[in-house]
Each structure stands twice: as structure tokens, then as C-alpha cells.
Chain A
Amino acid sequence: GEDVEQSLFLSVREGDSSVINCTYTDSSSTYLYWYKQEPGAGLQLLTYIFSNMDMKQDQRLTVLLNKKDKHLSLRIADTQTGDSAIYFCADTTGANNLFFGTGTRLTVIP
């Protein structure tokens, strides 16, 4: 089945950029998503990218997609303490079932 992998932890200093990486295995993935989960809450949709795109920018967020290597990254510019959370990447092949990675816990050090 589909496998989506992420590193478990990332620590950055406030004001620096954060880069969260994700790899996936299904070459027929159509859309790839980034979600944020804060303690005690559900998943907040941050951004998503269609598989025929290389890059998408949305304010402080930049998504890069390397379809050949099946590698997705999320860059957060000027990281703030409020960005501390768990970040999940997810993909889908068209049906409304998302395959999620394990999540990356981002800790922002003041």
C-alpha cells in the first residue's frame, strides 16, 4: 500500500526558516497536502499542491514538489512560536481518502 514518511522531530530558532520534508511512494498521487495539528485540536489545512506543479507559495509557506524523487517539502519563513505543532503531509490518488505521514513535531525555540 501507500507509504508516506516524515522525520519525527525538528527544532528551529524563532525567526529562522523551517523545512519539513516528506517522501511518498505512490507515483499516481494527484494532490499532496500539508496539515497542522496543535495540542487537543484537529487538523488544520495549511496548503496543497497538484502533482503537476513544482512549487506553490502562500504567504510564509512554500511547498516544493520533486515528482521524480517523490519528495515534498514545506518551508515556513520567519518561524514563530505559534508555529510549534505537528505537521502532517498527506497524499491522495483521487478518491477522498488521504494517506498521512507520521507527522513532524516542530519546536520553535524563542
Chain B
Amino acid sequence: KAGVTQTPRYLIKTRGQQVTLSCSPISGHRSVSWYQQTPGQGLQFLFEYFSETQRNKGNFPGRFSGRQFSNSRSEMNVSTLELGDSALYLCASSEGGSNQPQHFGDGTRLSIL
């Protein structure tokens, strides 16, 4: 089975722009979660989608949004980019029930200039 696939792997943007990141989960997995990893704040939960609905949300501003499609693929969007948004964005998928282990992709490294 193919693992979690995230595209693109690297992205460079400037302040004020917006960006969309993509995540394809493991086949059969219906839950997709997004995390932000920075040296200062570590790994922080952004949100989780299940059956095209946001099921859980972390403590991030409204500039961070996401969606999930009927095939379980998910996208994450960040608008009005700030320097502090530079991070590794990780996507994880799981079967969907509670307490199911999450499997991570290799992430998208976003750099803001």
C-alpha cells in the first residue's frame, strides 16, 4: 500500500501571498489531520477532516483552513502569509475511528521570504 503523499515537498512564497498544500491519504483511510512543525513551537495540531467535514480543530487563526474531498484527499490553505508561517506542514491519515494510529507523510516545507 502506498503511504501518505504530500505535494509539493518544498514551496517558497512571499509575505501576503496564499498557498495551498495537498495530501493524499493511505488508501482506505478516511481521516486526514494536519500538523505544523517549527523549531520554536514543535509539532502542533491544525485540524482534522473526516468524511469531508472538519471534525476537530486546533488553536490556529482563521487564515489556516482546509477541506477534504469525496476521495478523502485533503488540501490545506494558508492566506495572507506571514514570516512566522515558515514551517514543515505534515499530513497524517488514519482509518477514521477514534484512537486509530496516524500515519504521516514526509511533509511540505514552506518558506516565507
Interface residues of A (CB under 8 A from B): 30-31, 33, 35, 40-45, 48, 50, 88, 90, 92, 94-103
Q: Which residues of A contact B98 (CB under 8 A)?
A: 30, 94-96
CA distance A109 to B14 in the complex (A): 41
B57 → chain A, closest Cβ, in Å? 9
CA distance A99 to B33 in the complex (A): 13
Q: Chain B: which residue is nearest A92 at the CB level?
A: B99
Q: Are the C-beta atoms of B107 and A42 separated by less than 8 Å?
A: yes
Q: Which residues of B contact A100 (CB under 8 A)?
A: 42-44
CA distance A55 to B6 in the complex (A): 34
Q: Known contacts A96-B94, A97-B56: does B42 contact A102 (CB below 8 Å)?
A: yes
Q: Are the C-beta atoms of A96 and B31 separated by less than 8 Å?
A: yes
Q: Which residues of B contact A43 (CB under 8 A)?
A: 90, 92, 104
Main secondary structure of the interface of B (DSSP, over half): strand
Q: Are the C-beta atoms of B48 and A96 separated by less than 8 Å?
A: yes
Q: Are the C-beta atoms of A97 and B103 separated by less than 8 Å?
A: no
Q: Which residues of A contact B105 (CB under 8 A)?
A: 42
A83 → chain B, closest Cβ, in Å? 18
CA distance A97 to B102 in the complex (A): 9
B82 at the interface (CB under 8 A from A): no
Q: Which of A33, A41, A88 contacts B101 (CB 8 A)?
A: A33
Q: Are the C-beta atoms of B99 and A98 separated by less than 8 Å?
A: no
Q: Which residues of B contact A50 (CB under 8 A)?
A: 99
A73 → chain B, closest Cβ, in Å? 19
